[in-house]
Amino acid sequence: MIATITTYPLPKPTTPDEARRMFLSTAPRYRDVPGLLRKYYYLSNDGNTLGGVYLWNSRAEAEAMFDDNWRTTMRDKYKINPSVVHFDCPVAVDNLSGKILSDE
């Protein structure tokens, strides 16, 4: 599995309510994305940074999502270049399903 963290430093702070509205407007796009297991949106406590945490089946599927088109769309929307970092994620604990996920 691969974990990806995207980060967007904002030009001005946003409130939790504004962020929630933005997140809910884009959340449906992430349903049925090949290889995407979970996506979490986040907002920093000071409202200056937002982003996403993604869990993927594979790096190839993660990289397919974060292509040049995606980066252009995000740059146009947030007026900055988002940071995208991928990490190997050999084990994940899913307390909702009661499962421990592993690459094996």
- Per-residue pLDDT tens, the chain, 104 aa: give them: 999 999 999 989 999 999 999 999 999 999 999 999 999 999 999 999 999 999 999 999 999 999 999 889 888 877 888 899 999 999 999 999 999 989 77
State the pTM of this model. Answer: 0.89
How far is Cα 26 from Cα 104, in angstroms, rounded to an integer? 32
Nearest to 4 by CA among 46, 24, 33: 33
CA distance 61 to 13: 32
H or E stretch including 69?
Answer: helix 68-78
